[in-house]
Amino acid sequence: MRHSAIQLMVGLGNPGPKYTGTRHNAGFWFIEALARREGIDLRSERKFHGVAGRWRAADVDTHLLCPMTYMNHSGRSVAALTQFHRIDPAAILVVHDEIDLPTGVVRLKQGGGHGGHNGLRDIASALGTRDFARLRLGVGHPGHSDQVISYVLHAPGREERAGIDRAIDAAVDVASELARGEWDRAQQQLHTRD
C-alpha cells in the first residue's frame, strides 16, 4: 500500500536542558539521530517556533521540525510550518514517545486519537484533523495512570535508554522509505525486528 510521501517529520519534546534526557523527548531524539546520520543542519526558525531542517531523500524534499513551544503547544509550530510550505496533514509524520508500548518497541500508525498525549492533541487541534501519520516510540508505562506525567518527564534508566535508542536507530533506517511513502516496506522492517 502506498501512502503520501512525507513532506514533514515532526519530533515531539520539550525544549531546554531540564528536559533533554527525559522520555517525553524521544521524538526530538529521533530527529536529532536522523539529522546526524544524514548530515542535516538543524537551525532555530523563529517563524516556525522551532528547530528545523530540510532533507532530500530519493527525490523527496522533507522538512524536519522539533517544536520549541513545549509539548502542550506543539500544534502552533506544526501549523506555522505546514501553512507556510502548504503541506497537507496526510504528508506529516509525527514522532513521539508512547507509554502504551514497551520500551524499545517502535510502531507506525495512520491517524487515530491522541491517547492522552498532549502533543498529539494540540497538533490535531491546530490542524483541524487527526489524519496524520505517527511513529510511536515505546517508552513503557509506569504502571499507574497517576504516575504518567512524572514518568515521561524523567530520564529512563541506562538499559531503557539503550532500548529506546535501538528503536530510534531502526526507525532512522526506514526514514527514506517513509519519506517516499513506502509504508508497507517500512512497517515490515520495523514490526519484524522485535
Rounded Cα gap, residues 99 and 26, in angstroms: 11
Q: Which of 3, 24, 63, 96 is catalytic?
A: 24
Locate 92 and state its grid cell. 506529516
Q: Is residue 24 among the annotated active site residues?
A: yes
The residue with cell 522551532 is 50
Rounded Cα gap, residues 104 and 140, in angstroms: 8
State yes or no: 25 annotated in a binding site. no
State yes or no: 151 annotated in a binding site. no
Considering only CA atoms, which of 130, 132, 125 is closest in space to residue 95? 132
State yes or no: 14 annotated in a binding site. no
Strands 60-67 and 133-138: unpaired
DSSP-assigned letter for residue 136 = E
User: In what order do the strands lie in the sheet containing 8-11?
Assistant: 43-45, 50-57, 60-67, 8-11, 92-98, 133-138, 106-110
Annotated binding site: 19, 70, 72, 118
Catalytic residue positions, numbered: 24
Annotated binding site for tRNA: 19, 70, 72, 118
